Every structure is written in C-alpha cells, then in structure tokens.
Structure 1
Amino acid sequence: MSTTTPLSNSQLIASLGLIKHPEGGYFVETDRQPDEVPTPFVDGKPPRSLATSIYYLLTHDDPNGVIHMNKSVTYHVLHHGRAEYTLIHPTSPPRIEKVVMGEDVSKGETRLLLVGTGVWKMSKLLPVDLAMGDKNTTGCLITEVVVPGFHWEDHQFLTMDGLTDLFKDSPNAEQHMDMLAPFVRKY
C-alpha cells in the first residue's frame, strides 16, 4: 500500500516543467518522433512528425480549455483526476457528445479517449470536483498523443463566427450557442 502524498498542482507543474497552454491549462511536449510522414492535410506543406505527445493539466485555478480542433487524431490517456470533454462531431447538424475521463468505469468514465480528425473539442474540470475538492490538488492530468504529430498549421481555435456558422442549421442552435459560447477563445 502506497503512502505517497499526492503532489500539489504547483508541485506537479514545477516537477513536469509545465507552462501555460494557449488552449487553457498547462502543458509540456514530452516527445516528438524524429521520423516524418507527408502531411495528409495540405499538399506541398512540410512533412509532419510521425507522432508527438504532451502532458496536459487542468487545475482548480485554470479549470477549462477552449474549443479547438486538430486535423490529426488525438489519443487522451488519463493519469489522475477527472475532466469532462465536450466533442462536436462534424455531422449535419453537428452532434455534441460529452465524455468524462476518470477512473470510475461503473459511471461511464473512461481512461482513454480517442478524438478523430476534424472533431471540435474542449475539456473542463467537473463543477462537483471544483466545489468539493482541495483547491491545491484538484486537477486532471492526461497525456495527449497526436498522430501525425502536432503542428500549429493543423490546429484551429473556434471563433464566435465559426460557432454561429457551425450551428446555423441546427434545430437547437440557440441552446448550443448558449452552452458553448463561454468556451470560445476570446481574442
């Protein structure tokens, strides 16, 4: 039986060398494969790393990311904590899915989440965890593996205009806009 005391968020940030992420939370790149593949997204662009990985941490003080999309496939692997992911699938009208990354599979939580190409996503700590948890240790740490490897050219933040356009033909457009607008990046 382990008697190790969990690290505080500030200790975790320092020990892993995490920095603020433009999407919200904290991150550090942990691997960038030297082998490259042609980009499947834009002809004539430089090749991409075969894969990249990062640690990504949401904390009590920085509890959510903003809606964004990667053209590459992204695997999310849970280390500790819980977070709710909102996924917006590119169907007509768009389909919204909520997935909780966590350890309690009996409640439908998952330790591994695959987000396919072209899917908008954002993550946030659960309100119940923020309300009941210790401010210094409440958080969610995951590893993200991106294939082909992450490149800013293959990434996009959702704007308010993009959100409006995305749900323009949705029968519940106003409801979706109200729910998602707080998580659109403010420039």
Structure 2
Amino acid sequence: MADYPYPRTNTQLISELNLQRHPEGGYYAETDRAKENVTSPYANGAERAVSTTIYYLLTEETPSGVIHKNKSRTMHVLQEGRVRYTLISPGKEGGSAKVEYVTLGTNAAKGEVRQLMVEGDVWKMSAIPQEDLGKDDPEHVGCLITEVVTPGFHWEDHVFLTPDGLKQLFENDPAAADKVKQFSPFVKS
C-alpha cells in the first residue's frame, strides 16, 4: 500500500475516467477543449483553443513518462498519489542547462506541492518516486494529475527530447557525460 492516500485502484481510475495509453507513457483522457480560439504567442501566431484539460495517470506498470516540452504553459494539479517532476531549462548565453526536481504530493513539510506551473520550452518528465515503487499492492501506487494547457495543447507545439537534443542541452556542462547517461533512458530514440 502507498504511503499516501490512494483510495481508488489504478484499474478503477483507468476504467472510470476512460483513460487511454499516452504516447509519453502512462494514461490520459482529454476532459475539456475550449470552443473559443486565440492567437498563440507561443506557436508563431497560430490559432489554438483558449485552454485544454486532461487527466494524466502514472502507475507502477507505467511509472514514468519521457522527456518532452510544450510551447504553451502547463499547470499540473495533483488529484491523487505522488509524482516527481524533472524540469530542465536550457542554458542561457552558452551556459549549462539547469535541472530542478519538484514533487507533487500532499506533504508540504517535505516540500511537496499540489500545483506546478511549467512554462513553455522547459523540458519535463514525470515519474513516480523510486521509494514509492515495489510496494505490496501496485494497484494503490501511482499518481493522477490534471493538466491545464494555455493556450490549448496541439501536437504541433509538442516535442520529445531526442538523444542528439539531450547532448546539445548539456554540451557546455562539465558533467555532460554523467547527465546524458542519467537522462538517456527517458528520451525518444
């Protein structure tokens, strides 16, 4: 059993929320796409829905996504469970990329947050924390979040990190080889 409240099983969540496999890993369902469009400042003026909303679920079976970025801003809101985000911001003026870790969870005393805003063009990946995996009941280990994207999500505004992109991201970092090795399992080949 998880060390945090997780009342519904992953099987129940997948069924009740009509979740399907997500190309990033895990499961998802789009729950809202605004009918109104705006000109997106992040997509070269292309028309996008004002906002889109999805459920996103990671489970013991699918414990992490892959590194990707969106052009639009994305608000991640915790529903159930716990998830650790890796955020990689490109280096400025030839500097090295900055890596941050943020955990969505309910334990504020341990620095966990219930909401996380990720600006466009920041590489991100979500994963169930390693210490949460391998419990007696994998059906009660996972994380369900809501993601609100503004302007709305469009596949043209989404990019998966590739092996070459990963090397470029850390090319000016003295620990580049270690970071490339660390993040290589989470890029699309």
TM tier relative to shorter chain: over 0.9
Asked whether the 8 Å contact 2:26–2:64 carries over to 1, the reply is: yes
Alpha-carbon RMSD: 1.3
Q: Which residue number corresponds to residue 82 of structure 1?
A: 82
- 1:6-155 equivalence runs, <5 A: 6-43=7-44, 45=46, 47-91=47-91, 92-132=95-135, 134-155=137-158
SS where residue 171 of structure 1 aligns? coil
Instruction: Kindly state the Cα deviation for residue 132 of structure 1 after the two structures are TM-superposed.
Output: 2.8
Aligned residue identity for 2:147? E
What is the one-letter code of the residue matched to 1:180? F
CA shift at 1:133, angstroms?
5.4
**What amino acid is the match of 1:79?**
Q
Secondary structure class of the residue paired with 1:175: helix
TM-score after normalising by structure 1: 0.93
Which of residues 172, 175, 179 is equivalent to 2:175? 172
Post-superposition shift, 1:44? 6.1
- The Cα of 1:43 is off from its aligned counterpart by 3.6
Residue 114 of structure 1 aligns with an amino acid whose one-letter code is M
- Aligned to 2:100, what secondary structure does the other structure show? strand
SS in 2 for 1:10: helix
Change (3 A) 1:6 1:185: same
CA distance in structure 1 between the partners assigned to 2:60 and 2:45 by the alignment: 43
Measure, in 1, the Cα distance between the counterparts of 2:73 and 2:127.
20
Task: Summarize the Cα distance change of 1:79–1:44 in structure 2 as closer, same or farther, 3 Å threshold.
Answer: closer
Q: What is the percent sequence identity of the aligned residues?
A: 51
Is there any run of 5+ residues in structure 2 with no aligned partner, and where? 1-5
* Structure 2 Cα separation of the partners of residues 80 and 15 of structure 1: 14
Indicate how the Cα distance of structure 1 residues 133 and 177 shifts in structure 2: closer, same or farther if over 3 A, else same.
farther
Alignment partners' CA distance in 1, 2:27 and 2:74: 17
Q: So what's the TM-score if we normalise by structure 2?
A: 0.92
- Indicate how the Cα distance of structure 1 residues 68 and 133 shifts in structure 2: closer, same or farther if over 3 A, else same: farther
**Residue type of the alignment partner of 1:78:** L
Instruction: Give CA-to-partner distance per residue, 1:50-71, whole Å, 9 cap, x none.
Output: 0000000000101000000001
Tell me the matched-pair count. Answer: 181
> Residue type of the partner of 2:141?
T
SS in 2 for 1:131: coil
What is the DSSP-based 3-state SS (H/G/I as helix, E as strand, rest coil) of the residue aligned with 2:168?
helix
Shift of the 43–75 alpha-carbon distance from structure 1 to 2, 3 Å rule, reads: closer
- Cα distance in structure 1, aligned partners of 2:134 and 2:121: 33
